[in-house]
Structure 1
């Protein structure tokens, strides 16, 4: 197939899902929680379609299920749906609680960023003024010492995460799974030698390795 027909980014893959499975995937209105294990169903339906890879579908699903609208749908709907829009299993209370928590954390971070934006802009402007003053003085041979000290610098909080001990890798254990650069909470549902199956709080099911699991 001509490589130009292949989907290039997550946005294109999401549009593909909206078109191929309109009863299941919604861009804005009508979003509902997805059936657990829906990736496998999608993989079977799109088998042979060279426009999109399974890896791209996984990435698109992660983005779709981490969206605010999707998380809100987990808290408001009783059932999950399959690719044809039919009711599947019930949404578990645990997933509702996790979705609510994820929404609270996400909104808190957004509010913090918005609150910090004007202050940061002011600090940046002030710094530029000091830099201009320094340039003028240096041009005259005057030694310039920055007024910024370590105490003026914002303190960064440690976000250190701990790897999950091998003895804690068991069915029903709550964990954090590393997906790309993000850590997503989930519950182990199956341990098959090196392959570990985890249902994420969003309802998505993933297969991973021990080194990608961390303590909640």
Structure 2
């Protein structure tokens, strides 16, 4: 009987969160940024539950907080909410900027999938296949170059890798996501896999070499 009650699909786990915490989790309308540390609050409330595990909740949170509707909520709302829908802490500007960047990347990927490459029609691929990179390379006809190619920007603040003795639960860290460093807190260390709750509320699984000192 226990196995039949256990939820397996992440969408079912999300449905469980919608029903269990209706003032916090929303499917479409009324989505609000989640309180920082919401995972711990959920873990306490579902302690002993036969339906969902903490790992499933973590995966569901990752999906919920990476959706474009949630990212828009982070951008457009001043405060976060707790599990009961009460006002929590203010959304920091750093979190807003991170959400904006994630939204832009998501929309760019969507547009790329929907639109065919221009210039490929009738064999006319000149000037579209590859953009020249590096000094002395010709540019497409009509292109104006106002300045020399710049090297990839360096981080403005030097960051140090997280020492191995600090890789433990409740340690505040910076996590490398793409080219960005996002603040978060280690919630669980499972051999080489390290679970981190970002300040945005998102749950990520990463490795020690992607963690840096705050």
Counterpart in the other structure of 2:4:
4
SS in 1 for 2:110: helix
Counterpart in the other structure of 1:115:
115
Question: CA separation of 1:55/1:212 partners in 2, compared to 1, >3 Å: closer, same or farther?
Answer: farther
- CA distance in structure 1 between the aligned counterparts of 2:197 and 2:47, rounded to whole angstroms: 23
Counterpart in the other structure of 1:135:
none
Unaligned runs of 5+ in 2: 122-128, 131-158, 164-170
- CA distance in structure 2 between the aligned counterparts of 1:51 and 1:119, rounded to whole angstroms: 53
RMSD: 3.8
Max Rg structure: 1
CA contact (8 A) 1:13 1:57 kept: yes
- CA distance in structure 2 between the aligned counterparts of 1:173 and 1:98, rounded to whole angstroms: 16
Counterpart in the other structure of 1:18:
18
Counterparts of 1:1-216 in structure 2, within 5 Å, are 1-116=1-116, 167-169=160-162, 174-176=174-176, 186-189=182-185, 198-200=196-198, 202-204=200-202, 210-213=208-211
Question: CA separation of 1:32/1:191 partners in 2, compared to 1, >3 Å: closer, same or farther?
Answer: closer
Further displaced range: 104-113 or 166-175: 166-175
| Normalised TM-score (structure 2) | 0.65
CA contact (8 A) 2:173 2:186 kept: no
Unaligned runs of 5+ in 1: 123-153, 156-165
- CA distance in structure 1 between the aligned counterparts of 2:3 and 2:78, rounded to whole angstroms: 42
CA contact (8 A) 1:36 1:204 kept: no
SS in 2 for 1:116: coil
- Identify the structure with the greater helix proportion: 1
The alignment covers a number of residue pairs equal to 170
